[in-house]
Chain A
Amino acid sequence: MKGTIPPCLLPRREFLKSGGALVIGLSLRGAIADTYAAEQAAGAAVRGDVAGPPDPKQIDTWLAIHSDNTATVYIGYVELGQGSTTSLLQVSAEELDLDLSQVRTVRLDTNITPNQGGTYSSSSIARGSPAIRTAAAEARQALLEMASKKLGAPVERLTVSKGVVTVGAMGGESQSVTYGELVGDKLFHLAFTGTAPAKPVSEYKLVGTSPLRNDIPEKVSGKYAYLQHMRLPGMIHGRIVRPRGQTAYGSGAKVATLDERSIAHIPGARVLRKADFVGVVADREWDAVRAARELKVTWEIPAVLPGSDRVYEAMRAEKTSDRVVLERGDVERAIGGAAHVASGHYRGPYQAHAPFGPNGALADVTSDQALVICSTQDVYATRNTLATVLGLPAQKVRVQYYEGSGTYGHSCYDDAAQAAAILSQLAGRPVRLQFMRWDEHGWDLYGPAHVGEVRAAADAGGKIIAYQYDGWHHNWSAVETSQQLALGTPASEWRDGAAQMVNPSDCGGMYDIANVRLVNHHVPGMNYLRGAWLRSPLDLSFSFASEQTIDDLARQVRLDPYEFRRRNITNERWMGVLDRVAKAAQWEPRPPASKLSGEKIVSGRGIGLGTHLTSYGSAVAIVEVNKETGKVLVKRLYGAIDAGLAVNPAFIENQISGQLVQTASRMLLEEVTFNKTNVTSLDWTSYPILRFEECPEVFPMVVQRLDQKSTGAGEEVMAAAAGAIGCAFFDATGVHMRAFPLTPDRVLAALHSA
C-alpha cells in the first residue's frame, strides 16, 4: 500500500491503526516527517513535511505517477458532495490517456495540495480544470518523450492506452512500456510551462461521459469517513458555550457572570475561557455536551437588532453607501416615454446554510505549531486566519480538509476550526469540537436579507426598453465569531466591491435592453446578523423580484410570458435554455390560471431565467395554492442549464435536481427569525426545510456545449426557479407575492389585501 491512498478509502479502524505512513495528520507531535514514509522509502516525493503551498510551476505539484501504472492527481478544490472530484479526475485521466480507475486523489492539505483558491462560486470545474488539464497534458508529453527514448521510436509513432505506450506494428512486432515503468514513483523534476497542447475535444473518450461517482459506495455502506468521524490520539471532547442564537454582528456578546462550579458534578469537565470565548472540555463526549448545557453563564447583549419583522424597513431607513453597478443609456427618459411600465418592491429573508451535520473540527496546538482538521472551502485562507487567532506564523499551521455535510457556502466551518484551535491551545491537548445544532443554526453566517425595487418598461411592440434595479443588503462578515469573542477583534465587513453586489446577470442581463441602471445600496451591517455567501448568493431574491416584473410587462403587452422573453433575447445560449425548459414543460399559451379557475385550490405555472455568475439557467414551476389555508405546494420543477462543456452531465443533472428541491425549500419555508437581541430559529422546527411529502417532482436538463469552456453548475438554476415560483403564484391567484418564503400567513395576508 502506498502513502497516497486517500484515507477516505479506508475503513476507520484500519485508518486508526494505520499510523503515520497512511494517514496525513495523525502524527503531528514530533513526527510530521513520518508522513508519507512509504513514499520516502520508495524514493519518491516527500510530500507533507514542508508547509505549502507547493510550487505551482512544477509538474510534481500536480501529479505523481506510481510504479503500478496509476496516478495521483493533486487537486486544490475540495469535494463538497457534488461529485466535482470525480469530474476533475475524468479531466486528468482523459489527458493522460489513463482509465478512470487508474487515477486517484488525496484530501486537501496545506502541506501537500496546490493552492487553487477556494472552492467557491461553482468554480471547481471552471477554474480548476484548466490547470489540471494542462498539467496532465504536459506530464503525458514528458512521458512520451521518455518512452520514445526507451523504445527507440519517434514520439509520433507512439500510441497510449491506459498508460501503456506502444510502438508499432500493424501485423509486425509491437513494443510497449508503461508510465509506471518510466517514472515509477520518482519525481518528474520538470517545470510546468503550460505549453503542452491539450487533447482536442473531438478525441475525448471520458470527458462528456457520465461515469459514476467514486465516493457513493462508501457513503452508503458507512465506510466513508466524514470530518465528524475523525479522532486524534489523546484528544478530549469540546463544546462551545455562547448565548442561544447570535447577537448583532457589531456587538458580539460579553460574559457578565460565569459560575465554573455549576459543572463541578460532571466528571472531568472543565471550563476553558479566553476573554468572552467560553468552551468546555471533557474526556467523554456526553460529559462535554452536558457541561455546555449546564454551565451557568449570563451575557450582556445589547438590544440593537431590528427583529425579523422589521428588518426590511430598518434596512431601507439606513444611511447606505451606494454604487452604480451598471449604467447604460438613460433609464428615466426611456421610462418617461414608454407605453408600458411595471414596478414592484420585493423582499427576501435571511436564510441559513444549516448543514445537515453541524460543523466541527479537530485541533492539536502546541507552543510552536498547529494541526487543524476541518471542512473549510479554502484550506489556505483558513490557515491564515488560524495563524492570526493562535499567534503563530502561517507556515507553522497545517490545515487538512475532511468532507462534512453539504455546506452550500460559508457555514460555521471557519468558526468551528478557530474554536477547536483555541480550545486546544488553552487545554494543551488535542481537542475534537462538535458544534451542536443550535450553535450551527444560531451562529451561522446567513445569506443576507434583501430589499429589491424594480422598474421596467416596454414599448408598444413588446420590446423591453428600460430596466432599473435598486438593491439593499449588508455585506459579508469578515471576522469569525470565535476570533471576535477571544481576541476582541472588531467586527468588519468585506471590502466594498469584494463581495455582494446587485448581480447584472440576474437583473435584466439576459434580455436585450438599451437603458439599464443597477444600483447597489450597501447597508452598514453592524446592527444586523452575520452574513456570508449562501448557495447562489442573493440570486433568489434578485430573480424573484426581477422575473415577476418581466411577467408584469408581458401581461401589459398581452404576450405569453415565454413568448415575451423570446422576443427580448438574442443570446443563443439564453435562448437555448429557455426553449429547452419550455419544451420539456410543454408550455403553450393560455389565459392566466386565476381567470380559468375559481376553485379553492388553483394550480399555476411560471417560467423564469437566472444564473449566478456564468452559465445560463432556466426553470418552469408548477405550483398549487390553497386560497383558504394559504398553503402553497411546488408540484413540479423543470430546470435546464448551459454550463458549456459538461464534463460529467449526470453529475450536473443531480446538481440541478438538488438545486430545484433546495429552491422550493427556500421559497416556501426558510426564514431566519430574530428579536432585538438574538436569533430565535435554532433547529429544524423553528427553521423548517422541505420534507419528502412536499417535495416536487423534478426534471433536470443539461444543454451540452462541447465547443464552450466549462462554467459553473453547482447553483445556477436556483435563481431561475425562484423567479418561476414567484410567477407561478401570480398565475394561480392574480396576486403578487412581494416577499418570500411563501408561508400560509404571508400568502393569506397577500390574498386578503389584494
Chain B
Amino acid sequence: MASEIQIRVNERVHNVTADPDTPLLYVLMNDLELQGPRFGCGLAQCGSCSVLVNGSETRSCVTPVSAVVGKSVITLEGLPSWYAQQKKLSKTPALHPVQQALIDEQAVQCGYCFNGMIIQAVDLLSKTPHPTEAQIRRAMNGHLCRCGSYPRVIRAIERASHAMTGAVENTASERLAQESRAAEGVEE
C-alpha cells in the first residue's frame, strides 16, 4: 500500500507517496521529474539507472524506495554541487570534472548510457583518484554501451582524474571547455 516516504535527493528532502517496494528509479523519474537516472533494463544489468547512495554507485531500478530512507541520494543533476561540497569549493561548478572531460573527449554517441557511466566514474575517482587503465576498465565493466563509446570514456576518465588532481591538465581542459562553449552555439 502506498504510504508517505521521506527521501533525501540532491541534498533536498522530498516527501513522496509511494508503495515502499516501488523501485527508487520510478520515484526519481516520475515524482521528482529527474532526467539523470533512466530506465534501461530494470534488472540491474546495464547501469542506466545508477545513482550515488551515500557516495556509492547503486542501481535504482532494483532498489526499493524504502531502502534509501535516511540516506543521501545524489543523481546526475546533483553531481556538481556534491563535488563542490566534497572538495570544499567556494563555488559550485557548472559541471563535474567527469562531465566536462566527456565533452572534451567528445565521448558521447547517443548518450543514453552516460548517466550510469558518469555516476560510476565519479564513484571510482572519489575512491581511487589515480586509477590505472585496468582499474578503470574493471570499475566500469558493469556499465554497457550499445554505441561502443568505451575507448573515449576511458580517455575521459583519465582526463578527469588529471583535472581533479593536477593543475597542468586543468589548463588544457579549460581551454577545450572554452572552445566547446564557443562551438556549442546552437543553444545560446
Q: Show the binding face of A for B, using Cβ within 8 Å.
A: 9, 12-13, 16, 80-82, 86, 89, 99-104, 211-226, 228-229, 267, 284-286, 289, 354-358, 403-406, 408, 434, 436-437, 650, 654, 657-662, 665, 683-685, 689-693, 695, 697-698
Contact = CB atoms under 8 A, between A and B. Distances in A.
9 contacts: A101-B186, A212-B180, A214-B187, A222-B36, A224-B35, A356-B144, A356-B145, A437-B41, A657-B152
Contacts of B126: none
Contacts of A211: 183, 185
Contact of A437 (B42, B102, B115): B42
B52 interface: no
Given A214-B184, A650-B106, 6 more contacts: A81-B109, A81-B111, A212-B183, A224-B35, A690-B148, A692-B136
B35 A658 contact: no
Given A104-B186, A437-B42, A684 B144 contact: yes
B58 interface: no
Contacts of B7: none
A222 B110 contact: no
A657 B111 contact: no
Contacts of B4: none
Interface stretch (B26-34, B81-89, B164-172): B26-34
Nearest to B182: A101
B186 A286 contact: no
Contact of B113 (A222, A229, A356, A358): A356
Interface in B118-159: 118, 136-138, 140-154
B92 interface: no
Q: Which 10 A-B pairs have the closest CB atoms?
A: A101-B185, A81-B110, A661-B148, A405-B112, A219-B111, A406-B110, A658-B148, A222-B36, A222-B76, A214-B186
B44 to A, nearest CB: 10
Contact of B143 (A657, A685, A692): A692
Contact of A683 (B39, B41, B106, B187): B41
Contact of A228 (B38, B150, B179): B38
A27 B110 CA distance: 28
Contact of B186 (A100, A223, A267, A354): A100
Interface string B1-27: 010000000000000001100110010
A220 B108 contact: yes
Contacts of B111: 81, 215-216, 219-220, 224
Contacts of A16: 33
B29 to A, nearest CB: 8
Nearest to B65: A286
B95 A220 contact: yes
B26 A82 contact: no
A213 B110 contact: no
Contacts of B33: 12-13, 16
B102 A220 contact: yes
B185 A216 contact: no
Among B18, B112, B152, B186, max chain A CB count under 10 A is at B186
Interface in B92-119: 94-95, 99, 102-103, 106, 108-115, 118
A356 B149 CA distance: 12
Contact of B40 (A86, A214, A215, A357): A357
B103 A692 contact: no
A665 B148 contact: yes
A356 B110 contact: yes
Contacts of B34: 222
B30 to A, nearest CB: 6
Given A355-B146, A437-B41, A695 B151 contact: yes
B155 to A, nearest CB: 11
Given A356-B40, A693-B138, A218 B147 contact: no
B50 interface: no
B39 A357 contact: yes
B144 to A, nearest CB: 6
B108 A213 contact: yes
B43 A286 contact: no
Given A654-B109, A692-B141, A662 B39 contact: no
B2 to A, nearest CB: 8
Given A212-B103, A356-B146, A661-B150, A100 B185 contact: yes
B54 interface: no
A213 B45 CA distance: 29
B110 A80 contact: yes
Nearest to A228: B38
Nearest to B188: A101
Given A285-B26, A403-B110, A658-B109, A222 B75 contact: yes
A408 B146 contact: yes
A658 B148 CA distance: 4
B46 interface: yes
A81 B112 CA distance: 9
Nearest to B80: A221
Contacts of B76: 221-222
Contacts of A217: 95, 103, 180, 184, 187
B110 A685 contact: no
A9 B187 contact: yes
Contacts of A99: 185
Contacts of B2: 267
B41 A214 contact: no
Contact of B46 (A284, A684, A697): A684
Contacts of A408: 146
B41 to A, nearest CB: 4
A236 to B, nearest CB: 12
Contact of B184 (A212, A436, A697): A212
Contact of B106 (A81, A358, A654, A698): A654
Contacts of B41: 358, 437, 683-684
Contacts of B40: 356-358, 437
A222 B39 contact: no
A436 B26 contact: no
Nearest to B143: A692
Given A219-B111, A220-B108, A693-B141, A286 B19 contact: yes
Nearest to B154: A692
A267 B17 CA distance: 14
Contacts of B141: 691-693
B102 A660 contact: no
A216 B106 contact: yes
Given A217-B184, A223-B35, A661 B151 contact: yes
Given A211-B183, A218-B187, A695 B108 contact: no
Contacts of A101: 182-186, 188
Contacts of B109: 81-82, 406, 654, 658
A348 B121 CA distance: 36
B46 A220 contact: no
Nearest to A218: B187
A477 B36 CA distance: 35
B147 A662 contact: yes
Given A216-B103, A683-B43, A692-B141, A286 B23 contact: yes
A528 to B, nearest CB: 24
A54 B117 CA distance: 41
B46 A356 contact: yes
A568 B144 CA distance: 41
